[in-house]
Structure formats: C-alpha cells, structure tokens
Structure 1
C-alpha cells in the first residue's frame, strides 16, 4: 500500500489522466442511462418516418441546413428552440426525431422537448453525418437572394 501511495505521489499527472480517461469511458457507456430520451439509428429513423409519421426536427444553424437536410424536416435552430416550442405543439402526439450535425446539439434539443412535455422524442444517433454515412438522401435547396 505504501508503494501505491508513493507511485501516485510521484506520478500524479499520469494518475490524473487515468482518472479522466476512466470518467470519460464511464460516461460514454453509462451516460445514455441518465438521458431522459431515446436514441435512434438512421435506418430506424427511416422506419419511424415511414411507419409512424415521425417528424424530423433539424436544430442546425441556417447555413448547415441549406447545405443539405432530411426531406420534410422542420428547421428550428437550437438557439431558437425555446422561443419556437409553440410551433411544434401540433406534432406533440407524433414521434419527433431531433437531428444536428453529429448528435450533440440534437441531444440538448431532446432534453428541452422532454421538459416541455413532448413524450416521443428521439435523438438521431450520429446526426446528419451518420445519415450521410448510411447513404440516405438529403435535400439540398440553396436559397437565392
């Protein structure tokens, strides 16, 4: 036990890095248990859209959205979501799949929607990047001004 204490005191930077790595690994494995919403893969999202009339909520910024988005997606940037929750009320009884570039911002959107009383909320796992990797189509409509 004395050797362990000596090792830790002599290598505190390495021990600190080990603790951080273990915490990050724990969060990646068990973090989904702490979420109050489900995640869905791109292929499952397609099934939900086709079978359950799920609504895709794209929370990316305008420029990202214009580069390509899922067909019929409702676009509300994450920064405006709290102010525009009323526009989503008509979809409250449908499954809502939140999407962003990689899945992080859409996770925040899912938490916001759950707090606002939306029940069937899903985060698109991997976001639009995963959607593209699955070779699923995106609509690309650039606005001309």
Structure 2
C-alpha cells in the first residue's frame, strides 16, 4: 500500500510539474518505499528528437541508479566555476556528427544542461541526430536549485 501511495504521489508530481517535451510523452514512474526507482519518459514517435524536461524531473532522474550521465555543454571555464555534481563536460561546440567518446552507449540516459538553456537544446538535438535515443534536456544552471560543485 505504501508503494502504491508513493507511486501516485510521484506520478502526480510529474504531471503537475509540467514534465513534457515537444511531443506527447508517455510517463511511467515505478516507486519504491524510499522514492522512485524508475522514471520513463519516452517520445511517442521515432522522430530523432530529444525530450525536454523540467529541473524537478531531472533531479528525480538523477536520484536513480540507472546508468545515466549528466552532461554539461558549457565551456571549460564555465564548468570550472561550478557544475552539477557528477556532470561531465562535453562543450556544445565539440559535438559534431560523430559520437563523442565520453558517450559510448547510444541508448544511455543522457541529461543535458548548460548556462541558460540555449546551448543545451542545440547539443541535445545534435546528440539525437547522431542517434542517441534517451536524451533529456533540462535547461540552464542559472535556474538550478540543487547542489553545485567547483573544481
């Protein structure tokens, strides 16, 4: 019963927080006693696009041990001034038509952010165009209310 209530609360939170993308998404959350254990946000088509999510959804996804990677697409100097814990740096300008060596799995969950959200949208679309299937863009660090670390 406790799991069902947790599941309902998290599902309601995701729906009310405006979790969405450019297309209609199907949202599935599998909750455990201590919070979510899985969150699935999949596009309804194979359009080669990324999924845009809000920062609260990104935080929930970061809590999961699902093999996700957090990608900061700002410049190295911006990253050094402060970044989300565990984020790897792949500057937007370095993403072309070839698969970045830091992201060997095309099906891995990739959470992308930048400073304000402009570069993260560009980088997310480039990653989707390369063939990555689980790219989630969540805006800029200027709006981030979670922890930030410096080098």
Change (3 A) 1:84 1:99: farther
Q: Choose 1 or 2 for highest CA Rg.
A: 1
Secondary structure, aligned partner of 2:120 = helix
Provide the rounded CA distance (Å) in 2 between the counterparts of 1:42 and 1:53.
19
Per-residue CA deviation, residues 57-110 of structure 1 (Å, 9 max, x unaligned), is 111011111110011111011111227733134243221011100111010001
Task: Tell whether the 8 Å contact from 1:37 to 1:121 is kept in structure 2 after alignment.
Answer: yes
TM-score after normalising by structure 1: 0.65
Which of 39, 42, 46 aligns to 2:55? It is 42
CA distance in 2, matches of 1:64, 1:108: 17
Contact 1:76 1:84 in 2 (8 A): no
Q: Which has the higher contact order (CA 8 A, sep 6+)?
A: 1
Q: TM-score, structure 2 length as denominator?
A: 0.63
Tell me whether 1:58 sits opposite 2:75 in the alignment: no
The reply to whether residue 67 of structure 1 matches residue 81 of structure 2 is yes
Which secondary structure state, in structure 1, belongs to the residue aligned with residue 100 of structure 2?
Answer: helix
Unpaired runs of at least 5, structure 1 = 1-30
More strand per residue? 2
- The number of residues matched between the two structures is 107
Task: Give the number of the structure whose residues are more often helix, by fraction.
Answer: 1
SS of corresponding position for 2:131: coil
Q: Deviations over 1:97-144 (max 9, x none)?
A: 11100111010001100111000001113x10121xx2x101111xxx
Name the CA distance, whole Å, in 1 between partners of 2:68 and 2:125: 18
The root-mean-square deviation of aligned C-alpha atoms, in Å, is: 2.3
